[in-house]
Structure 1
């Protein structure tokens, strides 16, 4: 079976870790803490390469497609962009009611950030999602707001509490947004600003695979819902405990291993699933702490998982080597610790 091994424990210097994010093209891991500290870790040298101390808690992180710039969303409504190679060119945006047309100066926490391949930055601002078009790593003046799911009529007071709390690009012109209070995921056509699909009420944290055809969402009963975005495919649930009432709340979920496995952060453990046979392939345990933040990626034959613990504010990094073999099946031998899952061989 696929065995992830613990390769690194990181001890950040300020506050609890709120967010983790792997760079798309390099072996870099960024962390953001409640104390406003952003650190970039090099998985090759296993050390911190850059640090940036901010005045506000860090809530969201996102890399551009080339890993040349890291975007940082803060609790005080600021968004910063950082070049990890030089730590220069820091840009600051203030996210306030003025951005969504109300004219007041109230700021919004930047709960989530996402960047598509075309360089369009999407971020949350209350119940709105704002967009910035990047040109040569500069922020233009044009801003476009996308309203929440206005077809759901719960009254004006309830609408005021609706909050866009997480988002992911499906492709360059489609965005998936999870709205708090409603506890549903809405997919949007950005070209026509039309709602394409809305999920049933679910837990508010979710992840999407690189192909943009599957969403994974944890629930409060140790389950992970795998939801295909295609109309002719049905969703299913991966559950860690046989008893749905068992105590094992999920804190994070992500696709890893070239979109083959789903890894889910449970209380004190990380459970790794195979989407294809819907079975657990490995459980990584931490005896003392919960996992708060969660990230996963594949890079040059190595699959990485990073998880931040809630009690000690440690970041634990796990890795598993694999070989991708196109159009060739490798038989599973019980005498060898390897498994073939949709043309992915873990060694």
Structure 2
């Protein structure tokens, strides 16, 4: 297991090493929700924390925030050990880990003003937060009249009142319609551009790809891949998609020429080659004229399918059957505290 010894000198806002969370299921069976997880979130930008429901994302976030106890391993926020050093850095962290809780009959602005008074920050922060999340002009409306997207943006505004350097958002677009998803996406992207480090936990691949500068992919509580989104999505220049009138004829010609190829559909063949001109020549000699020849461009969905292939073959953590980790990573119920905007 690796260890954390360098503080935040390397520019990491979040670090975990060998992080593990075990709990007992309903029938007393041991379950592992997070398994030897090494997480590294660089300062600045939006970092995607990607994985299916039940993969350990929420459990990891709760441990980082001191809402659940780790079984073993190490955690650091801004170089400070968690949970021991959490009081010293918690003011630099904002988090929305559950549905926002506000007074329904008060306006969005009034809710924020009350919260500002409780945490002891200037009321001018309310104006700044409202503008940042795009609620100017609607902040005077009652909270109960807000759409789900507006409620989520108000929750984000609440976390911004104390001017956090790190913002943790757990599935912020769950249940939103396309318009609401777009609003939250724009808000998150804007925060990252302003220098706030955002940890965006999500199981929606397109959402992460649209706003994140870096990402970590986990499944069954284990780290599968991590790095900049650009690196994760780097084009596979050795694989090209060939569009032809008849895929079967093209496949035969390519295989006879000792090229590794596979049929995708009746008009598409994927071929492994670093020399596209060879594909064109082989097909032309066989009397087959292609419609297009393009290098494959991966998205996070294809990356995710690649890195989770081993998990599907049973190479993941040793989860016993019978007890299931609940929807949304709700593991270790006894360790959980009330969430919400913080």
Greater Rg by CA = 2
Same fold (TM over 0.5): no
TM-score, length-normalised on structure 1? 0.28
TM-score, length-normalised on structure 2? 0.28
More helix by share: 2
